[in-house]
Amino acid sequence: MSLKEQLENLRQTSLQEIQKVVDLDALNQIRVEVLGKKGPITEVLRGMRNLSNEERPKVGAFANEIKSDLAEAIETRKAELEAKKAAAQLAHETLDVTLPGQSIKKGTPHVLTQVIDDLEDLFVGMGYQVVAGYEVEDERHNFEMLNMPANHPARDMQDTFYITNDLLMRTHMSPNEARDLENHDFKNGPIKMISPGRVYRRDTDDATHSHQFYQMEGQVIDKNITMADLKGTLEYTIHHIFGEDRDLRFRPSYFPFTEPSVEVDISCFRCDGKGCNVCKQTGWIEVLGAGMTHPNVLKAGGVDADVYGGFAFGLGIDRFAMLKYGVDDIRNFYLNDVRFLNQFTQEG
């Protein structure tokens, strides 16, 4: 067999072996055996001494060609095997991605807080300040300054938790309006305030009554505030809370501290105004009371009612939450059953 034939044989057998091999170690073994210093090619090349000067370069070139072919075949095969191995590894690592993830617990803000925060953000965005006030109030701020003089029916003992003759648990958030009127200096601009907070009434707790609940009052007092401004503000607020698609109905009403007074209804979101048990078959749900601040209230707060005027509004946070989320028993808000609380998982 000529050297050339030997080389050709070598190429064929080695290529076959390379194709057959299935693991990287064996492939490396082949590389060492075939291309190594003690390998057959080297052996063949050693025999070149006996060749003529003419043939020697040709055989040498041929040998180098085979060497590089085999090296390339080995590299190709190596890449193939590595890819296979990697694929096998990944297949081995496959997880059941439907198993539950590690639970990370986040607490839930109380639904009443969510409603309050939402309203605060809305009004802060419109340039209002948030005022807290006192849960224990005096008669002057809770009643007297709000055009409810002594003997006014709203001041009856049975509706109010009195502490002394003069001190009581505030029955609404309006005392903060009186306090603001009292303390405000119009040199610093108009009054634009809201006041959400806890109020108390002498009620027996049942599905629709609670001796403790939350209200939010708001007022704007300036030189040129109109009832149209009140209407626009209320529309904006109610649409924000209950959705743009609600129809609103503005009804004249009566509160001692506003004149004119208004109550606002929204079209029932359960039946869309057709009549159902949520809206007591009327198609409307009352959500809010408001009005133009009564001159007596302005005067009691030391504000010149001929120069300044404005509006005030009040709404029940619990009521809003009950309507918005379909809560049918107000006691749920204060029993703190975690199964109840945790359904309101995110501010919305």
Partner 1 sequence: MKVSYNWLKDYLDLTTAPKALAEKITRTGIEVADVAQKSAGLKKIVVGHILSCQPHPDSDHLNVCQVDVGEDEPFQIVCGASNVAVGQYVVVALPNSRIADNVKIKKGKLRGVVSMGMICGLQEIGFADSVVPKVYVDGIFVFPEAIEPGTEVYEALGMTDYIIDLDLTANRADALGLHGVAHEVAAIESLTPHFEDVVVTESDVQTADHLAAYVADEQLAPSYHLRMLQNVTVQPSPMWLQTRLWNAGIRPINNLVDVTNYMMLTYGQPLHAFDADTLKGDHKQVEVRLAKAGEKLTTLDEAEHALTHEDIVITDGHQPIALAGVMGGLNSQITADTKNVIIEAAVFEPTAVRKTAQRHNLRSDASSRFEKGVNIADVQTALDAAAAMMADLGHGQVTAGIISPTNLIPSDKVIEIEADRINRVLGTELATQTIVELLERFGFGVANTDNRLTVTIPPRRWDIEIQADVIEEVARLYGYDNLPSTLPTGAMTTGALTPEQKALRQTRHTLEGAGLTQAISYALTTPEKARQFTLVDSALTALDWPMTQDHAHLRMNLITGLLDDAAYNVARKQTNLALYEQGRVFLKQTDDQVRPTEIEYVAGLMSGNRQTKTWQTAAAPVDFYTIKGVVELLMTSYNLSDPISYQPTQAYPEMHPGRTAAIYVGKQLVGFVGQIHPAVAKANHLKETYVFQLDLAQILALPTQTVIAKPAPKFPAVTRDIAIQVASQVSNAAIVEAIKAKGGAHLASVELFDVYAGSHIEAGEKSMAYTLTYLNETATLTEEEVNAAFEKVVAELVATFDAKIR
Q: Rule CB under 8 A: which of 290-309 touch partner 1?
A: 292, 294-295, 309
Among 226, 243, 274, 307, interactor with partner 1 by CB under 8 A: 226
Q: Of 219, 199, 192, 210, which Cα lies nearest the Cα of 133?
A: 199
Q: Which stretch binds partner 1 (CB under 8 A): 31-39, 60-68, 76-84, 149-157?
A: 149-157
Q: How far is the CB of 251 from partner 1 (least distance, A)?
A: 6
Q: State which of positions 34-93 bind partner 1 (CB under 8 A).
A: none
Q: Which stretch binds partner 1 (CB under 8 A): 28-36, 161-169, 176-184, 271-279?
A: 161-169
Among 92, 94, 125, 277, interactor with partner 1 by CB under 8 A: 125
**In the complex with partner 1, which residue's Cβ is closer, 82 or 166?**
166
Residues 104 and 342: beta-carbon distance below 8 Å: no
Q: How far is the CB of 329 from partner 1 (least distance, A)?
A: 14
**In the complex with partner 1, which residue's Cβ is closer, 11 or 170?**
170
Among 93, 252, 328, 348, interactor with partner 1 by CB under 8 A: 252
Q: Which stretch binds partner 1 (CB under 8 A): 17-25, 31-39, 44-52, 111-119?
A: 111-119
| Location of structure tokens 């409810």 | 148
Q: Per CB under 8 A, does 102 bind partner 1?
A: yes
Q: Which stretch binds partner 1 (CB under 8 A): 54-62, 171-179, 249-257, 271-279?
A: 249-257
Q: Per CB under 8 A, does 204 bind partner 1?
A: yes
Q: State which of positions 168-187 bind partner 1 (CB under 8 A).
A: 169
Q: Per CB under 8 A, does 95 bind partner 1?
A: no
Q: Where are the alpha helices (DSSP H) in the chain?
A: 3-20, 24-35, 40-46, 55-92, 111-125, 139-142, 175-183, 227-242, 295-300, 317-325, 332-335, 338-341
1: part of which helix (H) or strand (E)?
none
43/49 Cα distance (integer angstroms): 11
Residues 51 and 3: beta-carbon distance below 8 Å: yes
Q: State which of positions 255-294 bind partner 1 (CB under 8 A).
A: 259-263, 281-282, 292, 294
**In a 10 Å sphere around its CB, with 0-12 CB exposed, 13-18 middle and 19+ buried, how is residue 259 labelled?**
middle
Q: How far is the CB of 231 from partner 1 (least distance, A)?
A: 5
160/152 Cα distance (integer angstroms): 13
Between the CA of residue 56 and those of 46, 52, 63, 117, 334, what are the distances in Å? 11, 6, 10, 93, 102
Q: Per CB under 8 A, does 158 bind partner 1?
A: yes
| Location of structure tokens 């001041």 | 155
Dihedral, CA atoms, 41, 47, 52, 55, nearest 10 degrees? -10
Q: How far is the CB of 243 from partner 1 (least distance, A)?
A: 17
153/150 Cα distance (integer angstroms): 9
Q: How far is the CB of 44 from partner 1 (least distance, A)?
A: 56
**In a 10 Å sphere around its CB, with 0-12 CB exposed, 13-18 middle and 19+ buried, how is residue 173 labelled?**
buried
The half-sphere exposure of 345 on its side-chain side, counting CA atoms within 13 A, is 4
Q: How far is the CB of 48 from partner 1 (least distance, A)?
A: 59
**In the complex with partner 1, which residue's Cβ is closer, 27 or 173?**
173
